[in-house]
Amino acid sequence: MNDKQQYPYRIVSSASLSIMLEERNVRQFWFCNTNRRHRDFPTEKRLEGLMRRMNVAAAWPVEIEYPHMEEVEKGDFVLMWAKGKGIIGIGVADKNPFQILEAGASTQLWETGMKEEGESNGPQLEEWRIRISNWLFWDGNDPFAYKGQPRAFEAARLRDVEQFLRQVEDRLKRF
């Protein structure tokens, strides 16, 4: 499967994204690290594809928990960051977005991906999720640049949001 097939989402409507940003009806921007560095998963991009397909942004607390994920509210933007790429996806948080799945739950992304790859033993970790109502952008070939390296899930700093918004405005001019 090539990147065009795996990442078919582009900005759905440049006008609607522009209006959302102008009206600033987004309370908060969050980063979700797509976990590309994990080699336990059968293929790097598989986890990203599952997040996109299942409309979730996920983190797996190993040594640290992410209680701030409970602060995500409907309408917040979730910026999907991939190591070595940048921001490959922009999602909008759904209503009641936060959920925790128990370790080994059959609906976990790790479990789903392992089964699809013919594997049976995924890591036994809780999965912390933010449900996404829709993806405004998803493209692994033309990501937004971001020089930092966010933790698994964290609030974006103001300067990062401003940098991101400038890139969005520049990209929207292309449409």
**Could you tell me what percent of the chain has a pLDDT over 70?**
71
Angle, CA of 60, 54 and 169, to the nearest 5°: 90
- pLDDT tens digit string along 100-124? 999 888 888 877 776 676 665 666 7
Task: Please tell me the predicted confidence (pLDDT) of residue 98.
Answer: 96
Task: Please tell me the predicted confidence (pLDDT) of residue 2.
Answer: 37
Q: What is the pTM of this model?
A: 0.79
Q: Where are the beta strands (DSSP E) in 29-150?
A: 29-33, 56-59, 77-82, 86-101, 127-138
Q: How many domains in the chain?
A: 1
- Stated as kind and residue range, the H or E segment containing 17 is helix 14-23
Stretches in the chain below the pLDDT threshold 50: 1-14, 24, 42
Task: Please tell me the predicted confidence (pLDDT) of residue 148.
Answer: 82
Please spell the DSSP secondary structure of 61-94, one letter per residue: -SSS--GGGGG--TT-EEEEEETTTEEEEEEEEE
Query: Tell me, what CATH number does 156's domain have?
Result: 3.10.590
Task: Please tell me the predicted confidence (pLDDT) of residue 71.
Answer: 92
User: Which residue range forms the structural domain that includes residue 25?
Assistant: 3-172
